[in-house]
Amino acid sequence: MPAIKQKQSLNQSLSPQQILQTLILQLNTNSLEDKVFEELESNPLLEHSDGSGEEETFDSKDDIDYEDDPDEYEPHNIYSNESNKDDIPIVEQLDFLQDLSKQLNEFNLSKGDESIAEEIIWNLDENGYFTLDAILIADKLNVSSEKVEEILFLVQKLNPPGIGARNLKECLILQIPEKKYENHRMVLSEHFEDFVNHKYEKIVDALGIHNEELNKIINDIKRLNPYPGEGKLKGHNDSVIPDLIITLENNKWKISVNDSWVSNISLNTKYLEAIKNKKSSKETKKYLSQKFDSATWLIQAIEQRQSTLTRVMEEIINNQSEFFNGDTSLIRPMKLKDIANKLNMDISTISRSTRNKYVDTPYGIFELKSFFSGKLNSVNGEEVSIKLVKNLLKQLIRDEVKQEPLTDTDLAIKLKEKGYPIARRTVAKYREQLKLPVARLRRQITN
């Protein structure tokens, strides 16, 4: 029998209030509204007012000492691995799918074939592609895979062109008429890898055409739609709701947290009276007391979020004074640690305050993390922002001769000439972060 041993360890334990504060701080405006709406639905102690009446005052049973800065802890259980997706209005999505189904009437399908087609249509992904294995539908409807493939071929004849494709190559081919543009189809069907890798000489030799004709083919293919279901099967929220709004008033920046709807929640006085009522049962009082704690903590967490976001934004403005004075191209080197030290907060608090959050400024809407940048030393010893070097790198690629694009080595040499000595590997890293392809893929053919 193994010996029983006693082990002593020290663990940091977070209170429910601290965990809630941490969660609320990291939420952006959209997610915060969703969270508050859920709480309003489940907690009778909470109510939402239009802000026209006087604010309710209440005494928390246990005051939270914010000087201890509970946000400085990074609990492991507050983050969700689920990504937030903006759902397209159901009616709009149904209209698109139903329109595809109506187009099936042109084929006079049997009931069984129509069922297969419907199953294919309702399994299209957000880009309009059919990525499901045909055998899965075959097993579900008790038909052969060949039958599913046959019906898929009909679905691919529906509008918009390219719908139901299984990959990008097939999607583009489906958009080119069979009896016309033979070379277009040959480029995609027989030389697709050379096409996407810009190996144009191989295509010219294989098809026996001139560069001018290939250039026209490439331009025609670029006009095709690679995502025929985009914007129809999945919502795209192009507009950003800022979490902060700053305005210049009397030569001073005024910072407002954009949560007016959320901040108009208060305690329901009717239920507060029930807690004090001697006639209320013990179970009722216990339940309402727990809900009172939850409601109180939520309201205080929202207030703490407002305070933290405002303080962080103030410090960002102080550190990026050139930007907020109008020179939006100039971002000074600044790290999360710089703000944390100034505000006497933990780096994780600053990280949660800036993650997925946006600010509306007189110069446009910017993500808070865009104001942070590492630094490197120029030739004259001056500290410059990495963002400045990235912008310069982007400009060099934008202005390059497209028939002879600059390699990463060429770019490193040009940056060094401008006073920024960085290695080729660093150039490659910055280029990839900017989502710019390698020189080979940026090359264009001459007429």
> What is the DSSP pairing of strand 358-361 with strand 244-249?
parallel
pLDDT at 50: 60
C-alpha span between 112 and 221 (Å, rounded): 36
Architecture, CATH, for domain 375-442: Orthogonal Bundle (1.10)
Q: Give the list of residues 6+ apart from residue 14 with CB closer than 8 angstroms, or none.
A: 22, 70, 73, 75
pLDDT at 209: 86
Greater confidence (329 vs 398) lies with 398
Residue 94 has which token pair?
């149904």
Cα torsion 358, 359, 364, 367: sign: negative
Cα torsion 88, 94, 100, 103: sign: negative
- Check pLDDT > 90 for residue 245: yes
Domain ranges of the chain: 14-63+239-372, 90-222, 375-442
Greater confidence (263 vs 295) lies with 295
**What average pLDDT does this structure show over 365-377?**
82
Distances (CA, A) of 235 to 64, 67, 96, 132, 280: 41, 42, 13, 21, 48
The amino acid sitting at 90 is I
Counting every residue, how long is the chain? 447
Least confident range from 5-14, 95-104, 224-233, 367-376: namely 5-14
Q: Give the list of residues 6+ apart from residue 189 with CB closer than 8 angstroms, or none.
A: 169, 173
- Check pLDDT > 70 for residue 23: yes
- Check pLDDT > 60 for residue 26: yes
**What average pLDDT does this structure show over 161-176?**
90
C-alpha span between 109 and 35 (Å, rounded): 47
Greater confidence (5 vs 342) lies with 342
pLDDT band at 83 (very low <50, low <70, confident <90, very high): very low
Distances (CA, A) of 313 to 321, 359, 364, 369, 374: 12, 9, 15, 11, 19
pLDDT at 194: 85
Least confident range from 218-227, 249-258, 368-377: namely 368-377
Could you give the residue ranges of the DSSP H alpha helices within 82-210? Answer: 90-103, 111-121, 134-141, 145-155, 168-174, 182-190, 192-196, 200-207
pLDDT band at 69 (very low <50, low <70, confident <90, very high): very low
Q: Within 10 Å of residue 141's Cβ, how many Cβ atoms?
A: 14
Name which of 171, 163, 85, 170 is nearest 122 in CA terms. 163
pLDDT at 253: 92
Least confident range from 3-12, 48-57, 160-169, 392-401: namely 48-57
- Identify the three-state secondary structure at position 429: helix
Q: From the centroid of its chain, how far is CA 257?
A: 21
- For residues 328 and 50, the answer to whether their CB atoms sit within 8 Å is no
- Identify the three-state secondary structure at position 424: helix
C-alpha span between 75 and 34 (Å, rounded): 22
- Which one-letter DSSP state was computed for residue 71? G
pLDDT at 311: 94
pLDDT at 266: 85
pLDDT at 36: 87
